[in-house]
């Protein structure tokens, strides 16, 4: 009889890692190809159109970077929390809370405090701070419930997503709806002092905020004692406690950083792209951030690269909806497939598959 | 029909999909596998059930396909987490993200002539009053004037409870989730059982999705499940991994849905968006209460080996 056994690798070479990654991507893309074939589309044509739609020219690359901007920030948000195995699935809601807070400042501060100078140097920092604070508050409730009572954070962060999204829909459909908006749901447009500066097309300063945040998180992870404590709790909570690390304090601090980053994403989206509170803020950036963070192996600088690639999948998906009439959801399907196959493939980086011959049937 | 009867009657109806999903997750978690792909499996069950029922004009075939699809998705989770030892939390999330995307994709492709399913009216399960029992005052209306899937739930829950607590295979199922090393030593195939019960759990999730698209809110819309898969995961904790208690939790949530309906029907001034927050806030409140009281009794009742991959070569 021939069977297979897994043998632990003593060390994993870069070559092995790359081969495993390539194999995993191939599995995911093949699964997507089968789906495309099943609905009567040509996988090669579809993938080609996606690639072209996402990276085929200057305009396409600009659009992909616009899409990547929120993913960099949510990817970092998730990476910070997952680093200590705190399962923050709530980046989506924290992002929306941040978007609501930033919009509140832009919409109502000019009326409430006319003495505040209406220029970008004053307003953008105020909006950003409000967004970080709102995101952090949204994340702190689950963090405190977890650290004080041990309440499962996966469920609480997730339920808070729904609450935030419903609140946001309530606001732009109801009390914050623009009376001069001809009945369209959405708030009034912000004053120009609340717009993030744009470089080209819709590409805005949020991308730079994301890049700076990536470097800062990288510094926290690799150069500070706090970063070491976070990683230690993630590796072995008991050992961390024995070493005198306060788990309670770290859960709270990590969630302020993680949820604050997600809140900042909401600011970047409303001030950079929509310039008002309207439909399109809760488009799964928080969930995609989970995929980004995990594929980047929670490494802050890799988050940037993965975010751009996954944004390409989403923009490519939108493109084939327009050009080939295929559902844009193919982008999301591929993301899930890639994450699953990379997760499953990881074992082949850690173990070697060996064929063995056995004489008798085992177990 | 008075107000209380009407609310309880809707509660049973609204809670059915939650019961199926929760019981399925209890089975998988009892075997040691945490499957956070519940939401993805439910929504895939819902879309494939409706598409099949519409194409074949047979709602039963829709249920069958939904269960197969749920089982196949759970099989992916099983391969990733049991054989390939992937992280169960992240693999489950991937299943939900991918499943939600795939359901949205299929919803635009599985309609007549490769068109969308949204807005179509297809076969559905309707109330089949049980002769005699349905005319019992109050109880008849609440329990015995329902569709076939609700009746299936009445049979399945006691059956699963009996299987878990009163049979030898049920004992093995629980043992695999509590102490796989010892169970393995007894000659029970840990891997095979974990595969089996993860897949069965997925079939239940698919069944829950089918009840949504074929009975509760017949038809297909994006986001049809609206987080019910996640609420079911919270209900597993609420139920302390006991299928009988899962029914209580699911009825509570069904009841909240029912009260929401009533308020909207009576023309309340509260915005629908704010009203819709209640089940999610209730989930958090219930979870906090359960965690608090269980911690007080120093036992939460989670299977000891939940979420831990089993590896014969690494003894704990």
Cβ-based contacts of A154 with chain B (< 8 Å): 36, 89, 233
Contacts of B134 by beta carbon, 8 Å cutoff, 6+ apart: B140, B141, B144, B145
- What size, in residues, is chain B? 316
- Here the ipTM equals 0.89
**DSSP, res A236:** -
| pLDDT at A123 exceeding the cut of 70 | yes
| pLDDT at A362 exceeding the cut of 50 | no
Q: Is there a domain that residue A323 lies in?
A: no
Cβ-based contacts of A330 with chain B (< 8 Å): 101, 105
CA–CA gap between residue A294 and residue B91 (Å, rounded): 10
| pLDDT at A68 exceeding the cut of 50 | yes
Contacts of A254 by beta carbon, 8 Å cutoff, 6+ apart: A80, A81, A83, A84, A86, A143, A230
Q: What is the percentage of chain A residues whose pLDDT exceeds 90?
A: 78
CA–CA gap between residue A15 and residue A196 (Å, rounded): 42
| pLDDT at A95 exceeding the cut of 90 | yes
Q: Provide the domain count of chain A.
A: 1
Q: Where are the alpha helices (DSSP H) in A184-224?
A: 206-223
Confirm or reject contact between B307 and chain A (CB < 8 A): no
Cβ-based contacts of B295 with chain A (< 8 Å): 149-150
Q: Is there a domain that residue A25 lies in?
A: no
CA–CA gap between residue B59 and residue B146 (Å, rounded): 15
| pLDDT at A78 exceeding the cut of 80 | yes
* Distances B134 to B129, B143, B201 between C-alpha atoms, Å: 6, 8, 31
Instruction: Note the pLDDT of residue B299.
Output: 58
Q: Which residue has the higher pLDDT, B133 or B95?
A: B95
pLDDT in tens, B229-248: 999 998 998 888 999 999 99
Cβ-based contacts of B97 with chain A (< 8 Å): 284, 287-288, 290-291, 332, 335-336, 339
CB A91 within 8 A of CB A293: no
Q: Is there a domain that residue A22 lies in?
A: no
Per-position b or e across A128-152, b if 16+ CB within 10 A of its CB: bbbbbbbbbbbbbbbbbbbbeeebb
Segments forming the whole domain that contains residue A216 = 73-312
Average pLDDT in the B79-98 region? 93
Instruction: Note the pLDDT of residue A351.
Output: 83
Q: Which residue has the higher pLDDT, B35 or B312?
A: B35
Instruction: Note the pLDDT of residue B67.
Output: 98
pLDDT in tens, A143-160: 999 998 889 899 999 999
Confirm or reject contact between A234 and chain B (CB < 8 A): no
Determine the residue among B39, B77, B87, B94 to mutate to test chain A binding: the one whose Cβ has the most chain A Cβ atoms within 10 Å.
Answer: B94
Residue B114 binned pLDDT confidence (cut-offs 50, 70, 90): confident
CA–CA gap between residue A132 and residue A125 (Å, rounded): 10
| pLDDT at A4 exceeding the cut of 90 | no
**DSSP, res B133:** G
pLDDT in tens, A207-239: 999 999 999 999 999 999 999 999 999 988 889
Which span out of B70-84, B107-121, B140-154 was modeled with the highest average pLDDT? Answer: B70-84
Confirm or reject contact between A34 and chain B (CB < 8 A): no
Contacts of A202 by beta carbon, 8 Å cutoff, 6+ apart: A62, A63, A66, A272, A273
Q: Is there a domain that residue A81 lies in?
A: yes
Which tokens go with B61? 């075939």
- Compute the CA torsion angle B216, B117, A337, A273 (nearest 10 deg): -100
Average pLDDT in the B126-151 region? 88
CA–CA gap between residue B311 and residue A327 (Å, rounded): 41
Helix A330-345 / helix A14-38 crossing angle, nearest 10 deg:
140
Instruction: Note the pLDDT of residue B203.
Output: 98
Nearest to A13 by CA among A348, A349, A298: A349
Pairing of strands A351-357, A203-204: unpaired
| pLDDT at A10 exceeding the cut of 80 | no
Q: Work out the mean pLDDT of chain A and round it to a whole number.
A: 92
Average pLDDT in the B181-190 region? 91
pLDDT in tens, A324-351: 989 999 989 999 999 999 998 888 888 8
Average pLDDT in the A236-246 region? 89
Confirm or reject contact between A37 and chain B (CB < 8 A): no
Nearest to A28 by CA among A317, A341, A349, A346: A341
Instruction: Note the pLDDT of residue A232.
Output: 93
E-state strands within chain A: 2-8, 198-200, 203-204, 351-357
CA–CA gap between residue A206 and residue A74 (Å, rounded): 12
| pLDDT at A120 exceeding the cut of 60 | yes
Q: Do A39 and B109 touch (CB under 8 A)?
A: yes
Q: Is there a domain that residue A157 lies in?
A: yes
Q: Is there a domain that residue A214 lies in?
A: yes
Instruction: Note the pLDDT of residue A363.
Output: 43
Q: Find the closest chain B residue to A174 by CA distance.
A: B271
How many Cβ pairs closer than 8 A exist between chain A and B?
A: 142
Coil vs helix vs strand at B33: coil
Query: Is the alpha carbon torsion for A120, A123, A129, A130 positive or negative?
Result: negative
User: What domains sit in chain B, N to C, each tagged with a CATH number?
Assistant: 3-296 (1.10.3470)
Q: Is there a domain that residue A8 lies in?
A: no
Average pLDDT in the B71-81 region? 96
Instruction: Note the pLDDT of residue A135.
Output: 98
CB B138 within 8 A of CB B5: yes
Residue B295 binned pLDDT confidence (cut-offs 50, 70, 90): low
Residue A1 binned pLDDT confidence (cut-offs 50, 70, 90): low
Chain B, window 13-32: residues with a beta carbon less than 8 angstroms from a chain A beta carbon: none
Nearest to A335 by CA among A299, A301, A361, A309: A309
What count of Cα atoms within 13 Å lies in the side-chain half-sphere of residue A284? 19
Instruction: Note the pLDDT of residue B263.
Output: 84
Q: Work out the mean pLDDT of chain B and round it to a whole number.
A: 91
| pLDDT at B63 exceeding the cut of 60 | yes
Average pLDDT in the A246-262 region? 95
Q: What is the percentage of chain A residues whose pLDDT exceeds 70?
A: 98
pLDDT in tens, B155-167: 999 999 999 999 9
Average pLDDT in the B142-146 region? 89
Coil vs helix vs strand at B167: coil
CB A270 within 8 A of CB A280: no
pLDDT in tens, B40-53: 999 999 999 999 99
pLDDT in tens, A35-44: 999 988 999 9
Q: Is there a domain that residue A66 lies in?
A: no
């Amino acid at each position: 009889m021939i069977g297979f056994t897994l043998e632990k690798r003593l060390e994993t070479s870069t070559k092995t890692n790359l081969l495993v990654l390539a194999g995993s991507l191939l599995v995911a893309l093949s699964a997507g190809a089968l789906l495309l074939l099943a609905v009567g589309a040509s996988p090669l044509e579809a993938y080609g159109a996606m690639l072209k739609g996402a990276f085929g020219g200057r305009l396409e690359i600009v659009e992909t970077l616009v899409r990547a901007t929120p993913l960099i920030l949510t990817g970092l948000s998730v990476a910070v929390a997952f680093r200590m195995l705190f399962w923050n699935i709530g980046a989506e809601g924290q992002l929306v809370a941040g978007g609501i807070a930033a919009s509140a400042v832009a919409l109502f501060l000019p009326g409430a405090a006319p003495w505040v100078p209406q220029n970008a140097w004053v307003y953008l920092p105020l909006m950003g701070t409000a967004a970080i604070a709102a995101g952090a508050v949204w994340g702190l409730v689950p963090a405190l419930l977890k650290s004080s009572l041990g309440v499962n954070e996966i469920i609480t962060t997730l339920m808070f997503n729904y609450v935030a999204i419903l609140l946001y829909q309530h606001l732009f459909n109801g009390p914050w709806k623009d009376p001069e908006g001809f009945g369209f749901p959405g708030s009034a447009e912000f004053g120009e002092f609340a717009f993030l500066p744009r470089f080209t097309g819709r590409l805005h300063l949020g991308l730079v905020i994301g890049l700076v945040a990536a470097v800062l998180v990288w510094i926290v992870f690799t150069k500070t004692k706090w970063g070491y404590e976070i990683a230690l709790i993630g590796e072995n909570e008991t050992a961390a406690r024995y070493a005198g690390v306060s788990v309670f304090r770290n859960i709270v601090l990590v969630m302020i950083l993680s949820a604050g980053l997600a809140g900042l994403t909401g600011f970047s989206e409303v001030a950079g792209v929509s310039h008002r509170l309207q439909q399109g803020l809760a488009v799964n950036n928080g969930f995609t951030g989970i995929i980004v963070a995990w594929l980047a192996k929670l490494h802050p600088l890799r988050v940037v690269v993965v975010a751009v690639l996954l944004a390409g999948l989403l923009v490519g998906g939108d493109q084939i909806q327009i050009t080939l009439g295929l559902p844009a959801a193919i982008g999301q399907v591929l993301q899930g497939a890639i994450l699953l196959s990379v997760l499953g493939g990881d074992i082949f980086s850690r173990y070697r598959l060996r064929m063995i011959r056995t004489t008798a049937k085992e177990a | 029909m008075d107000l209380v009867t009407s609310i309880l009657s809707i509660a049973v109806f609204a809670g059915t999909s939650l019961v199926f999903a929760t019981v399925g997750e209890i089975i998988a978690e009892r075997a040691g596998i945490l499957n956070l792909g519940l939401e993805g499996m439910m929504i895939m069950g819902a879309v494939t059930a409706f598409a099949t029922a519409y194409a074949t004009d047979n709602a039963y075939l829709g249920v069958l396909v939904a269960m197969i699809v749920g089982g196949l998705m759970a099989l992916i989770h099983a391969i990733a987490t049991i054989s390939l030892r992937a992280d169960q939390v992240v693999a489950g999330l991937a299943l939900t993200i991918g499943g939600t995307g795939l359901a949205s994709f299929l919803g635009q492709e599985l309609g007549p002539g490769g068109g969308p399913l949204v807005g179509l009216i297809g076969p559905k399960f309707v109330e089949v009053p049980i002769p005699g029992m349905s005319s019992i005052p109050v109880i008849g209306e609440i329990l015995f004037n329902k569709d076939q899937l609700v009746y299936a739930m009445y049979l399945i829950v006691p059956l699963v409870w009996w299987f878990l607590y009163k049979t030898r295979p049920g004992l093995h199922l629980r043992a695999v989730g509590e102490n796989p090393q010892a169970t393995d030593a007894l000659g029970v195939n840990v891997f095979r059982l974990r595969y089996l019960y993860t897949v069965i759990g997925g079939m239940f999730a698919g069944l829950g999705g089918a009840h949504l698209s074929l009975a509760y809110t017949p038809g297909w819309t994006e986001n049809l499940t609206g987080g019910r898969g996640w609420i079911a995961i919270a209900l597993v904790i609420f139920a302390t991994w006991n299928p009988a208690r899962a029914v209580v939790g699911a009825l509570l949530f069904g009841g909240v849905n029912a009260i929401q309906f009533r308020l909207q029907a009576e023309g309340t001034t509260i915005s629908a968006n704010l009203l819709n927050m209640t089940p999610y806030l209730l989930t958090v409140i219930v979870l906090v209460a359960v965690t608090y009281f269980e911690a007080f009794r120093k036992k939460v009742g989670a299977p000891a080996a939940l979420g831990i991959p089993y590896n014969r070569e690494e003894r704990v």
